[in-house]
Amino acid sequence: MDILQIGIVIVVLLLLVKPAGSYIYHVFSNESNWTDRMFGPVEKFFYAVIGLRKRSGMSWKTYALSMMATNVVLVAVSYAVLRWMGGLPANPNGTGNMEASLSFNTVISFMTNTNLQHYSGESGMSYLGQMIVITMMMFTSAASGLAVAIAFMRGITRRGDGLGNFFEDFVKAHVRVFLPLALIVTLVLVGLKVPQTLEPTVTVNTLGGAVQHIAMGPVASLESIKHLGTNGGGFFGANSSHPFENPSPLTNVIEILSMWTISAALPYTFGRFANNRKQGWILFSAMMVLFLAFLSLTYVSEKSGNPLINQLGIDASQGSMEGKEVRFGVAQSALFTAVTTAATTGSVNNMHDTLTPLGGLAPLAQMMLNVVFGGKGVGLVNMLMYAILGVFICGLMVGRTPEFLGNKIESREMKLIAVAILAHPLIILAPTAISFLTHLGTDALSNPLYHGLSQSLYEFASSAANNGSGFEGLGDNTVFWNVSTGLVMLLGRYVSIIALLAVAGSLSRKKPVPESIGTFRTDTKLFAGILVGTVLLIGALTFLPVLVLGPIAEFLTM
Amino acid sequence: MNGKRKSMLTGSIVKQALKDSFIKLNPVVMMKNPVMFVVEIGTFVVLLMVLFPGYFNTAGRTGFNLAVFLILWVTVLFANFAEALAEGRGKAQADTLKKTKKESTANKCVGSEIIVVNSTELRKGDIVVVSQGEMIPGDGEVIEGLASVDESAVTGESAPVMKEAGGDFSSVTGGTRVVSDRIKVVITSDPGESFIDRMISLVEGASRQKTPNEIALNTLLTTLTLIFLIVVVTLAPIAEYLGVPLDIPVLIALLVCLIPTTIGGLLSAIGIAGMDRVTQFNVLAMSGKAVEASGDINTMILDKTGTITYGNRMASEFIPVGGAALAETAHWAAVGSLKDGTPEGRSVLELMNKQQLAYDTEVAAGGEFVEFKAETRMSGIDLQDGRHVRKGAVDAVRRWVLAQRGSIPEDLAAKSDAIASEGGTPLAVAVDGKIYGLIHLKDTVKPGMKERFEQLHQMGIKTIMCTGDNPLTAATIAREAGVDEFIAESKPEDKIAVIRREQAEGKLVAMTGDGTNDAPALAQADVGIAMNSGTVAAKEAANMVDLDSDPSKIIEVVAIGKQLLMTRGALTTFSIANDVAKYFAIIPAMFMAAIPQMKALNVMGLGSPLSAILSALIFNAVIIPLLIPLAMKGVRYKPMSSARLLARNLTIYGLGGVIAPFAGIKLIDLVVHLWI
């Protein structure tokens, strides 16, 4: 039954990949197609408003700068709102202004598509904040990420003028992808009993005579974009385990597919851009192989339960149910956990802190790799980076200087990739190590020893991968954690984006190398194997020592 | 090819390399190789701990630390040794070249006088006279006379070559010796810039620059080193918090095992050895970049004549016409060629032998040979009995026969057209007023060329043949040899056009050439190989010079380029794949003392934590010298499709790279565990 539940979701995803991937391709290929008729007029209106008449292609620098500038403006506006929201309208619950370091963390968190929440939605955020900061950034950060991924694809496949026009991509991502999809998913969720209201918290007298405050609000609209945009920040502190955010197994499946589909479809979109669909499927299958391995690890580990509890003679036939919702069970929880950390969404329908050690290792590892589907575009771009790396190392073995999709990989690209590939372990391991050197860090840990290490490691891995989920036991609303994770999120997002846009820019200017029988082919099963091998050897081995000291030591000593 | 440059490893080279590996320990030199530099720093830190155990509070572990220090030190020395060895082979070659650069005197012409000067005083533009037995004092061009020159000092080929003023055989190299006659030479290079000087600095490695791919690979290796540095440095405070104490030498051991020391130590040796292999092949590459580029070649442009075919049209068949017997036709063809020294004439007699046809030499006795002339387009013999034998172009012979009121056989035109349509050249044979038949002259493809083009196909390289012949002849040869494209009636500028066309499609083009009019195309090509017998202009435009002047060698040069890149890729893959086993050796060993359950990760069942760490380190060190032969010789290369090549190399160096260290470390541990 469990396997069937998981299997059905995966099969539905596989069926969605091709149509979704083709749709995204049509949206961004800038060739006239049927999506123009539907959305063209709306876009023309926006272009007129922002004065974007000539939508000419941009160099990688202009593209990166445009994205950064847009993000900076949004950050500034949102920061102001959070700091003064106490006095602003749409605040029926009378929520106060947010503290400076927490505002910094929250704004960065949502702009970088991380959605790490050091505040609790019910008490710390006004409805205005939920709508024009949180929900707005859920759209804009996802659109920024998608735009970058598309620009990267255009660059390395040399389709179009330069890398394209950021503002055009940004508008299109909203108008043709996220807004219509969010509208549909919101309506479906409302139909499935997710609240959508501007009424304040309901206060009721329970049968037992106690007074209960039931928090509500515009939940469904946030819930849809939270997953579609792989954002993950919950309306409520309990995120998608809260019955108003995720009331039933059906909404659970809808949320899983909402966050997974676009990320999983992007390899196919890439195949369309590269005029080689097989190439897209090869990338997809490399991601899927890794995903299935991590999903199995979590599922098997959770299913076999916690040995310490099993020893007490408590019925373990359901598996380890600590921190899980009864309506989801182990299968739906394991799948949600694997998907939310693969697609770097960060919403949770169970508490990751209480996963068994190896069950918790899988989400941690997926965030450390950050290539298994990944958030809006990031996963694909990172996977392509590993593809270039794999080509560089193995491509030499066919006796030619390495080339990927007809692009020669030379010193300049390797330097830029070096920056991106160095940044990830640095911003996870260095702050984790620092957090153990100071009481500011160790005081937040709610567990001793190995699980404590996992808590800190998870927090920074989640920040660096722009995931946003947490090992919730961590007392993280302090200046130290707000600022450190804020910086990690910033670096995690923008360093690799800029470096990889530069790679795309550099490749797009190269003269393409024609293919011959002597060319190293990257659309074969063998290459899928090379890709997985490269990810594991270079990506995973980096984190092995800390993983051994964290989850693996916890597992062995249990 | 008796004079191939030998590059044996002699005792003196090894001795010198051992010495150099210590000299190279100088940190300023080491800094150029970031991977090994990190190892050297680690070695130094451990040394300090061995020397001042009190200060570092490591008194109880001096024995282990000393072992770590020694292994790390040997690791650095091994890497240095690999590089020094590769350099040593080049230096040995340079030394033999330097011997030819002895001081000599030159007979310089000043006005009408000849004065004797030291050869080092010669400058560009000076004119010297070189006579029999004298050494040519510098690179130059013959402007007067003709001489045979012994170039064995440069080419290793002992047979002397002819040099004459004008044409494509006018360039001479300083240090070679005139063995007959006397020539006047204008010097074309200043002292220190001559061909031999450049050759010496090239093989010595003095002018060696890192190639683009080497730079990119170095970036990757440096990045990996930095990543593992981050891993190891951050591990210390985390482990400290968990109550798992880690000694600095153990952390350094982990770092050294994880960073790609194998490829880091062998990278420059691979590059030097690749250049060296080209040199051993008697091809002089002006830069490593050219060797690397030759591995990437997509298109190869080859001259038909001299490269693909022998270039001489040879008799392949006698075809009687007008009812003449075959023996009759052959007989007169042979008589007409008896005194003909041209290759065509000789080939007629060879064909007679081959077909075991007899002819009467008596007939020609005392006859008078008629030379081929451009106006008559015929040659032949006027016999003593008054008969005139002629062979030559069909229409010329026809006119000659008609002029003598002879008759033209009806089948002549059809048969000669048939030969022409196959790309051959028909020669008519006539005696006075009667045409006896035709000789089918044919260009022949050199043996083995067809197979080589087949190999090039498998490598995915397109071949283009250039020839001055008419399209028909060109097509026939192209078909016989198996080249992909041909350019008939080609002019020198056609070659540049083809190169530009191919390059515009993003392809890399290689070509060979020798004449001055080849120079622009040689310069335009990505890999241009000039023949040593060619002109100075050609040699200067090219980025490789073939000392044996064998244009078909370009194919081997491509193979060497590919082999160089493959060796680099194979050892990089091997080096990175090794990390898996090293992790499984060191990680449990590091933590086992504090967390006994870590024993579960000790999958190799290594004896003790200390022996596990030392075994991994020893494996890491000894794998470098074990792979030196591979780095020097290059991985085996057989032309095959990239997919098969990749699958093969990935199995050997990727999978092998994962498995080999498991076995190696386990074996070493069995020995090391006897002590610890």
> How is B640-663 classified by DSSP, letter by letter?
--HHHHHHHHIIIIIIHHHHHHHH
- Tell me where in chain B the CATH 2.70.150.10 domain(s) lie: 123-190
Alpha helices (runs of H) in B281-342, residue ranges in sequence order: 288-295, 326-337
* CA separation for the pair A192, A239 (Å, rounded): 17
Q: Which helix (H) or strand (E) holds A15?
A: helix A2-28
Residue B365 has a CB neighbour count (10 Å cut-off) of 10
Q: Give residue B156's pLDDT band: very low, low, confident or very high (50, 70, 90).
A: low
- What is residue B3's predicted lDDT score, i.e. its pLDDT? 38
Window A:121-160, CB contacts with B under 8 Å: none
Computed from CA positions of residues A320, A323, A328, A334, in that sequence, does the dihedral angle turn out positive or negative?
A: negative
The answer to whether the CB atoms of A433 and B563 lie below 8 A apart is no
Q: Is B224 within 8 Å of A542 (Cβ atoms)?
A: no
Alpha helices (runs of H) in B525-553, residue ranges in sequence order: 536-541
The answer to whether the CB atoms of A556 and B258 lie below 8 A apart is no
Report chain B residues whose CB lies below 8 A from the CB of A545: 231-232, 235, 254, 587
What tokens were used for B500?
């530009």
Mean pLDDT (whole number) for A406-431: 92
pLDDT for B423 beyond 50: yes
Cα-Cα end-to-end distance for chain B:
57
Q: Is B569 within 8 Å of A393 (Cβ atoms)?
A: yes
- For residue B238, the distance in angstroms to the closest alpha carbon of chain A comes to 6
Phi, psi of A410 (to 5 degrees): -120, -170
Half-sphere exposure (CA, 13 Å, Cβ side) for B500?
A: 7
- For residue B586, the distance in angstroms to the closest alpha carbon of chain A comes to 10
Mean pLDDT (whole number) for B436-444: 87
The answer to whether the CB atoms of B568 and A533 lie below 8 A apart is no
Evaluate whether the domain defined by B123-190 bears CATH number 3.40.50.2000. Answer: no
Report chain A residues whose CB lies below 8 A from the CB of B242: 449-450, 453, 549, 553
* CA separation for the pair B347, B316 (Å, rounded): 8
Q: Give residue B449's pLDDT band: very low, low, confident or very high (50, 70, 90).
A: confident
> Which has the higher per-residue pLDDT, B335 or B154?
B335
Which domain does A413 fall in, by range?
A: 2-556
> Which has the higher per-residue pLDDT, B166 or B393?
B393
Residue A142 has a CB neighbour count (10 Å cut-off) of 26
Contacts of B254 (CB under 8 A, 6+ apart): A545, B232, B235, B586, B590, B613
CA distances from B167 to B141, B187, B307, B517, B522 (A): 10, 17, 19, 11, 18
A398 in contact with B at a CB cutoff of 8 Å? yes
Evaluate whether the domain defined by B283-310+445-547 bears CATH number 3.40.50.1000. Answer: yes
Whether the full predicted model's pTM is greater than 0.80, yes or no, is yes
Q: Is A467 within 8 Å of A343 (Cβ atoms)?
A: no
Nearest alpha-carbon partner for B219 in A388, A526, A429: A388
> Which has the higher per-residue pLDDT, A519 or A273?
A273
- What is residue B168's predicted lDDT score, i.e. its pLDDT? 67
Nearest alpha-carbon partner for B84 in B32, B19, B35, B26: B19
Q: Read off the DSSP letter of residue B136.
A: P
The answer to whether the CB atoms of A400 and B242 lie below 8 A apart is no
- What is residue A186's predicted lDDT score, i.e. its pLDDT? 94
Report chain B residues whose CB lies below 8 A from the CB of A436: 237-238, 240-241
Using DSSP's 3-state secondary structure scheme, residue B232 falls into: helix
**What does the CA dihedral A339, A341, A344, A346 come to, rounded to 10 degrees?**
100
Identify which of A437, A517, A533 has the shortest CB distance to residue B641. Answer: A517
Identify which of A396, A429, A442 has the shortest CB distance to residue B565. Answer: A396
pLDDT for B325 beyond 80: yes
* CA separation for the pair A252, B112 (Å, rounded): 103
Q: Give residue B109's pLDDT band: very low, low, confident or very high (50, 70, 90).
A: confident
Please state whether A27 falls in left (phi above 0), alpha (psi between -120 and 50) or beta: alpha
pLDDT for B206 beyond 70: no
Cite the annotated binding site of B for ATP by residue number. 340, 344, 372-379, 391
Residue A118 has a CB neighbour count (10 Å cut-off) of 22
- For residue B566, the distance in angstroms to the closest alpha carbon of chain A comes to 4
- Tell me where in chain B the CATH 3.40.50.1000 domain(s) lie: 283-310+445-547
pLDDT for B505 beyond 90: no
Poorest-pLDDT segment among A220-229, A286-295, B458-467, B468-477: B468-477
Indicate the burial class of B556 (C-beta count within 10 angstroms; 0-12, 13-18, 19 or more): middle
- What is residue B312's predicted lDDT score, i.e. its pLDDT? 65
* CA separation for the pair A208, A240 (Å, rounded): 28
Q: Is B564 within 8 Å of B274 (Cβ atoms)?
A: yes
Q: What does the longest C-alpha to C-alpha distance in chain A come to?
A: 80
B223 in contact with A at a CB cutoff of 8 Å? yes
* CA separation for the pair B438, B426 (Å, rounded): 6
> Which has the higher per-residue pLDDT, B484 or B11?
B484
The answer to whether the CB atoms of B220 and A545 lie below 8 A apart is no
Cα A417 off chain centre by: 21
> Which has the higher per-residue pLDDT, A176 or A378?
A176
- What is residue B429's predicted lDDT score, i.e. its pLDDT? 92
* CA separation for the pair B382, B394 (Å, rounded): 19
Question: Residue B440 pairs with which residues in a beta bridge?
Answer: B317, B426
Q: Is B100 within 8 Å of B284 (Cβ atoms)?
A: no
Q: What is the pLDDT of residues B72-99, one digit of tens each?
A: 999 999 999 998 888 887 777 777 767 7
E strands in A351-483: 403-404, 407-408
* CA separation for the pair A128, A116 (Å, rounded): 19
Q: Give residue B535's pLDDT band: very low, low, confident or very high (50, 70, 90).
A: confident
CATH assignment of B314-442, given 3.30.460.10, 3.30.420.40, 3.40.1110.10, 3.40.605.10? Answer: 3.40.1110.10
Q: What is the pLDDT of residues A486-521, one digit of tens each?
A: 999 999 999 999 999 999 999 988 888 888 877 888
**3-state SS of A98-120?**
CCHHHHHHHHHHHHCCCCCCCCC
Q: Is B117 within 8 Å of B146 (Cβ atoms)?
A: no
Using DSSP's 3-state secondary structure scheme, residue B7 falls into: coil
Q: Which helix (H) or strand (E) holds A498?
A: helix A479-508
A447 in contact with B at a CB cutoff of 8 Å? no
- What is residue B4's predicted lDDT score, i.e. its pLDDT? 42
pLDDT for B251 beyond 90: yes
Mean pLDDT (whole number) for B426-436: 90
Mean pLDDT (whole number) for A271-285: 94
- What is residue B2's predicted lDDT score, i.e. its pLDDT? 35
Q: Is A292 within 8 Å of A356 (Cβ atoms)?
A: no
Q: Give residue A135's pLDDT band: very low, low, confident or very high (50, 70, 90).
A: confident
Contacts of B174 (CB under 8 A, 6+ apart): B119, B136, B137, B138, B139, B140, B189, B194, B195, B196
- What is residue B6's predicted lDDT score, i.e. its pLDDT? 46
B458 in contact with A at a CB cutoff of 8 Å? yes
- For residue A458, the distance in angstroms to the closest alpha carbon of chain B comes to 14
* CA separation for the pair A90, A102 (Å, rounded): 21
Q: Is B539 within 8 Å of B195 (Cβ atoms)?
A: yes
The chain-wide mean pLDDT, for chain B, equals: 85
**What does the CA dihedral B511, B512, B518, B520 come to, rounded to 10 degrees?**
40
Pick from B190-194, B450-454, B567-571 the range whose average pLDDT is largest.
Answer: B567-571
Indicate the burial class of A311 (C-beta count within 10 angstroms; 0-12, 13-18, 19 or more): exposed
pLDDT for A22 beyond 90: yes
The answer to whether the CB atoms of A399 and B507 lie below 8 A apart is no
A57 in contact with B at a CB cutoff of 8 Å? no
Characterize the bridge pairing of strands A211-214 and A202-205: antiparallel
Q: Give residue A423's pLDDT band: very low, low, confident or very high (50, 70, 90).
A: very high
Q: Is A142 within 8 Å of A377 (Cβ atoms)?
A: no
Identify which of A389, A401, A516 has the shortest CB distance to residue B565. Answer: A401
pLDDT for B7 beyond 60: no
Mean pLDDT (whole number) for A196-217: 84
Q: Give residue B208's pLDDT band: very low, low, confident or very high (50, 70, 90).
A: low
Report chain B residues whose CB lies below 8 A from the CB of A409: 216
pLDDT for B8 beyond 60: no
Pick from A58-67, A540-549, B628-637 the range whose average pLDDT is largest.
Answer: A58-67
Q: Is B154 within 8 Å of B183 (Cβ atoms)?
A: no
Identity of residue B108: K
The answer to whether the CB atoms of A392 and B216 lie below 8 A apart is yes
- Tell me where in chain B the CATH 3.40.1110.10 domain(s) lie: 314-442
What tokens were used for B364?
């020609």
- What is residue B515's predicted lDDT score, i.e. its pLDDT? 73
Active site residues of B: 303
Number of folded domains that form chain A = 1
* CA separation for the pair B511, B489 (Å, rounded): 18
Using DSSP's 3-state secondary structure scheme, residue B163 falls into: strand
Computed from CA positions of residues B84, B619, B64, B246, in that sequence, does the dihedral angle turn out positive or negative?
A: positive
- What is residue B202's predicted lDDT score, i.e. its pLDDT? 67
CA distances from B413 to A355, B395, B410 (A): 95, 9, 7
The answer to whether the CB atoms of A526 and B230 lie below 8 A apart is no
* CA separation for the pair B478, A80 (Å, rounded): 77
pLDDT for B311 beyond 90: no
**What does the CA dihedral B131, B132, B138, B143 come to, rounded to 10 degrees?**
50
Nearest alpha-carbon partner for B140 in B501, B465, B432, B539: B539
Nearest chain A residue (CA) to B221: A418
pLDDT for B301 beyond 70: yes
Phi, psi of B462 (to 5 degrees): -90, 140
Contacts of A45 (CB under 8 A, 6+ apart): none
Size of interface A-B (CB pairs under 8 A): 203
The chain-wide mean pLDDT, for chain A, equals: 89
Indicate the burial class of B27 (C-beta count within 10 angstroms; 0-12, 13-18, 19 or more): exposed
Contacts of A37 (CB under 8 A, 6+ apart): none
- What is residue A252's predicted lDDT score, i.e. its pLDDT? 93
